[in-house]
Every structure is written in C-alpha cells, then in structure tokens.
Amino acid sequence: MAWIEKLYATYEACKGHEPQGAQPLMPISHTPQQIHIEITIDEHGSFKGAKTTQKEETFIPATEKSANRTAGEAAHSLCDKVQYCAADYVKHGGTKPPYFASYEKLLSEWCDSDFSHAKARAVLAYVQKAQVVADLVREKILYLGEDGKLLTKWPAETDTPDVFRLLTAKDGERDQGDAFIRWQVQCTNDPNSAVWLDTSLQQAWIDFESSSKATKGLCMVTGEENTALALSHPKRIRHAGDGAKIVSANDKQGYTFRGRFTDQDGQQACGVSSEVTQKAHSALRWLINRQSYHDKATGQVFVTWAVAGKPVPDPFQDTLSLILGIEVPELSADAVPQTLSGDAGQAFALRLKSAIAGYRAKLDPTDDIVIMGLDSATPGRMAISYYRELEGSEFLDRIEHWHTQYAWPQNLGKNLKFVGAPAPRDIAEAAFGRRLDDKLRKSTVERLLPCIVDGQQLPRDLVFSTARRATNRVGLDHWEWEKCLGIACALFRGYSTSQGEEYQMALEEERATRDYLYGRLLAVADSIEGFALTKAETNRDTTAARLMQRFADRPFSTWRNIELALTPYKSRLKSSEKGAGFLWKREKLLDEIQCRFQSDDFTDDHALSAEFLLGFHCQRMALRAGTPAANDEKISND
C-alpha cells in the first residue's frame, strides 16, 4: 500500500500547483479519453455547430464502472460515443449496439439531483431531441451511404474525411458509432463554454457520483472509516489506450478470494477508498506523462518523483541532460561541459556539483523520493517491477556518485560531446548494438537501475560486452564507434573504481601497466598513418583501425604487422619538412612508451583487457589537443 499512499500524498501536494504550461492533474470521477467530434449547443439545447478534433485527450466525467469498461454497456455521464449519445443512431443504420437509454438514464439522474448543472441540463435537452446523427451528417462530420445508412468504408477514389481517418479500423471497416463526442455549451454570462474545462461542472459531477456509492468501509490508506470504497481501480495509466491495471480483480466466480474471505467483493482483504485510488492513479498518470522514462515499444515505464512535487534529477538521463536540466546561475544551454587537457575532469566535476547543488537548494534532505517501475506482460495486467523510497539527500548523493564514477568524455554526435556518464538506454545499445531486441533493451535498462539508485556494482557482462564491441572498429559506422568507445571507457573506469583501481580522465604518463601502454601505442600508430592519409587526401581506415579487434586479442603479434605497415607512410612524411617534424615527435613518443613496458610485458601475446581502450582514448585525446605531453599541434584529421 506504500505506493498508493505516496501517490495520494503527491496528488494532494501538487493539485492546483502544477507548473505553468504543464497538463493539470485529472480530477476524481473522471477519465482521459481521445475525442473525435466537438458539438456546440446553447444553454437551451439548440444545435449551433460541430467540428472534428485530432484525437485530443480530454478529461471527461465517468462512473467507476464506465471508466473501466472494455465491452458492454457502461455509459459515461456527459461525453461519450455516438452509439451512446445519439438516439437516432439506429435510425441511420448504426451497426453497433445502441446504448442511448442507459446514457439518458444516468444523465437524467444527475440533472434531477441536488448536484445538477446548467450545462449538463442543456446537453440532456439536446440529446433528447434525437437528432445528433442528423445534425452531424448535415455538418459533414458523419456520412451516409446511398441507402441512408452510416458508411463503414469510404470510397478510395475520393479524399478520406477526418472521421474515417481518425477512427480505428476493425476488419477493414470503421464504424462511425465509435466516434467520441464532447460538448461546448454557450451560456449567458459564462465565457467558458467547454464543459471539460468548467470546474463547477466537474465538482457537480464529483459530488453526485460520490453520493451514489453504496459500499462503505475503512480505507487502509487514510485510516478513515465509513468512506466510499473502490470496487474497481483505474486503468489508462501509461496512455489513454492503456487497458492494463496495477490493481485488478477477477469476477465473483474466480479464485481470487475463494477459501480466504467470506465476502465476494474482497473488501475484507484490503479496503481503499474510491477517492484515494483515483487520486493516486491520476498522480501516477500525470507523472508518467511529464517526467518518466517510457519505452513505448515494450511498455516499460520508470518514473522518479518527489512527493512534495519538487524537481528531482532523472536517473535515466546522461550527465549532459542532468547538468542542463536544472536552473543554476553557473549554467546555461550553451555551457556544455568539456574536459580540458590536463584538468583530469575538474571542469566536469565543478559543473556536476553545481547541478546537484541546484537540486539540493530546492529539495529538503528529508523529502521523500520515490522511484517506481511499471511493466506489463499482458494487455490487462500491470506489475510494479521496481520500487524504492529514499530521502532527498540520499537520492542526490547516489545520483552524483553514479555520474562521477562513470564519467568519461562522450561523443554522441557532431554537436553532442560532453564529459559524464551515459544514459542507460545508450549503454544497452553500446553493449548489444542499435538493433537490439526490445526485450533485451528492457531487461538491460532494468538491470542498470539498481546500479544508479542502490549503488550496486555494474554487471560485469555489460562492461566487457561494451568493450568488445568498441574494439570492432571496422564493423561500426564511425559515429557509432566513437559513441561506443566513450561508453566502454566510462563503464570500465567505473567498474574498476568499484574494484579499487582508479583511472583519470586525462592521459596518465606514469602508468606502466601492459594493457594501458599497448592502447597508447595503438593511438600513436593510428595518428601517424591518419596524418599521412590526410596529407595525401585519402579517405580510408588506417591499419590500426582495421586490426583493432585482432590487436585486442593478440597485441604483440599484431603490433608487428601494424608497425611494418607504417613504413611507407613514414617515408612519405619524411619527404616534407612539416611531415618530418611531425614524424620525429611521434617516433620519439613511441620509443618513450615502449621503454615503459616492464620485463616481458611487451612480448606477452595474451588478450588485452578493456584497460587498453582507456590508454588508446586518453593518448588520442592528448595528441589531438596538442598537449605538452604530446608536444604537437592539433592534427587536421580530428
């Protein structure tokens, strides 16, 4: 019950205080619905006009039963489909079951109660005239065939009307009775004609619907007695068409309560008031729409929020999004964090601390932070796959630790280069390729979340799978390889830190480990041949690039082939003064690196670990940046 309690508290804290421009929280006794048709009437129920809408999501009044309908008769109280609102639907050849009687009965009960509303009475007066379909046909919203019946197919030789384009086809046909209607009611001295935006009408319906609930009992969330209990719980959590529920129940003939409780409704198991569950689910829907990680291909959702409604960093963002996602004086949209040569990531660290400090300034240390994951294996059932509650200070400490420990210069595109930790989705693609299966991406992201939120160690197989793909340079597009290389280095550096081995983000000239030095050698060889190819205006991969994967498996024997392949390029460079100077500096650097190998490390032909990627990347950055360590200008093939 903890998740319902936290979401209920979130609704109470945020209702009426939604950020400017954000979608408002949905009131209780309402449901989201995609609208196709908008009808305008006056306060006396006279037709004024109609138009189609582009599936606009609208909060409409609904009963507990109608909000959860999948099939069968369960009318909404005001806005509904043509088959519910139109008494003349059958007259015009509607093929779906007509439910006007139940719609009229519910709307009449509301209008005859103490909670009646003028706009609801106007809608009732209009629909009782039994000319909804006729008016829509006259306005060219709905269409009849030559036989005077509603069409289910539109002739292909003419332009398709909006209603046929917006409705979902079933067996190649679109029943116009499925078109959903909302109302504009023009009343004297009331400039707001939209019924879905009229708060007084919303409250009138809420009061009526609450008064009609018969099941009373103890709410296990609030502790209040004699409250109206929920017999069913909302759906449409991830989007308007989502039929999966977190809390669901079988019918009374099922096995849910048999042998455990004496009542058939299951209230002995756990009672939750209708108001609480609606507010909790409304808050969850609102949070998912505005600040969640949502994989639409699989339906996987992770949402992070502060119960008090304050801004929190998203665990699924990369560091660049985190730093630019909070308004602090030191940062702007142009302040993309970069690691300057030799600063070992100090500029990045300062910007990260500034961003975290911006969140700390708005978030109290004891504020409740909730991270919740949702997933569904079937269309009707949804599970909470991950749930954590943390205090604000603890959550920010773990987010900062993740982005610090797994920081590395990232190259995600021409205009997207930064220093920091990659996003979980990018890690999944780096480990298994861009065309990885949706289920594999989903499971990988789910495995990474405990590493970020709980501080658990990164899965070893992800580290080495990413490193292995980064060595396959010729098998990837250049931009994809650059992205994969940065992510592989970030993961190996962070994983090594958890094992007690620290690596800097700048070149470590004093590090004399075999794998690191071999990576530096490969970077220098790549630089020599790349510079020669650029001078010759030749666009092709270097020998170091083509043999990188083999080099990772057998470094000593492969290095001999790479070194021999450099001979003609060295001769070409010696023919010019600038090339000779460049080559002298690179050869001097090669000698210095080889002299740092200890004993028989250089001749050891065992496979290299991912550490060689760190040496390669750091040496390449140093050469391109023209640092004192390289003692050279920035080469043109950057």
284 within some domain? no
197 within some domain? yes
pTM for this predicted structure: 0.85
Give me the half-sphere count of Cα atoms (radius 13 Å) on the Cβ side of residue 169.
7
Where does the pLDDT of residue 348 fall: very low under 50, low under 70, confident under 90, or very high at 90 and above? confident
8 within some domain? no
Q: Are residues 473 and 604 in the same domain?
A: no
483 within some domain? yes
Q: Are residues 331 and 474 in the same domain?
A: yes
For the segment 26-65, what is each residue's pLDDT rounded down to a tens digit? Answer: 999 999 999 999 999 999 999 999 999 988 889 999 998 8
For the segment 103-148, what is each residue's pLDDT rounded down to a tens digit? Answer: 999 999 999 999 999 999 999 999 999 999 999 999 999 999 988 8
Q: Are residues 493 and 539 in the same domain?
A: no
267 within some domain? no
Q: Are residues 96 and 190 in the same domain?
A: yes
Where does the pLDDT of residue 264 fall: very low under 50, low under 70, confident under 90, or very high at 90 and above? low
Q: Are residues 336 and 465 in the same domain?
A: yes
- Among 236, 235, 215, 237, smallest CA distance to 226 is for 215
The string of DSSP codes covering 28-74 is TTEEEEEEEEEEEEETTS-EEEEEEEEEEEEEEE--TTGGG-SSS--
250 within some domain? no
Q: Are residues 489 and 603 in the same domain?
A: no
245 within some domain? no
Average pLDDT (291-316) is 92
Q: Are residues 39 and 179 in the same domain?
A: yes
> Which of 199-208, 252-261, 473-482 is least confident?
252-261
- Please, which residues have CB within 8 angstroms of residue 234's CB and are 6 or more apart in sequence? 31, 67, 68, 245, 277, 278, 281, 282
Where does the pLDDT of residue 252 fall: very low under 50, low under 70, confident under 90, or very high at 90 and above? low
Q: Are residues 457 and 524 in the same domain?
A: no
State whether the Cα torsion 574-580-583-584 is positive or negative: positive
Q: Please give the residue range of the domain that contains residue 404.
A: 296-498
- Among 270, 197, 254, 225, smallest CA distance to 26 is for 197
| Rounded Cα gap, residues 254 and 516, in angstroms | 64
- Considering 211, 230, 255, which residue would you say is the last residue of a domain? 211
Domain count, the chain: 3
Strands 30-42 and 227-228: unpaired
Q: Are residues 455 and 532 in the same domain?
A: no
Beta strands in 190-241, from DSSP E residues, in sequence order: 216-217, 227-228
- Whether residue 163 contacts residue 51, with contact meaning beta carbons closer than 8 Å, is answered with no
Give me the half-sphere count of Cα atoms (radius 13 Å) on the Cβ side of residue 192.
8
| Rounded Cα gap, residues 446 and 464, in angstroms | 18
| Rounded Cα gap, residues 60 and 79, in angstroms | 6
Phi, psi of 520, rounded to the nearest 5 degrees: -65, -40
- Environment class of 598 (CB within 10 Å of its CB; exposed 0-12, middle 13-18, buried 19+): exposed
| Rounded Cα gap, residues 110 and 595, in angstroms | 90
222 within some domain? no
Average pLDDT (161-165) is 90
Q: Are residues 465 and 559 in the same domain?
A: no
pLDDT number for residue 413:
77
Q: Are residues 68 and 143 in the same domain?
A: yes
Q: Are residues 589 and 480 in the same domain?
A: no
For the segment 372-403, what is each residue's pLDDT rounded down to a tens digit? Answer: 999 988 888 899 999 999 999 999 999 999 99
- Considering 211, 244, 264, which residue would you say is the last residue of a domain? 211
- Whether residue 67 contacts residue 233, with contact meaning beta carbons closer than 8 Å, is answered with no
- Considering 211, 243, 273, which residue would you say is the last residue of a domain? 211
The residue type found at 149 is K
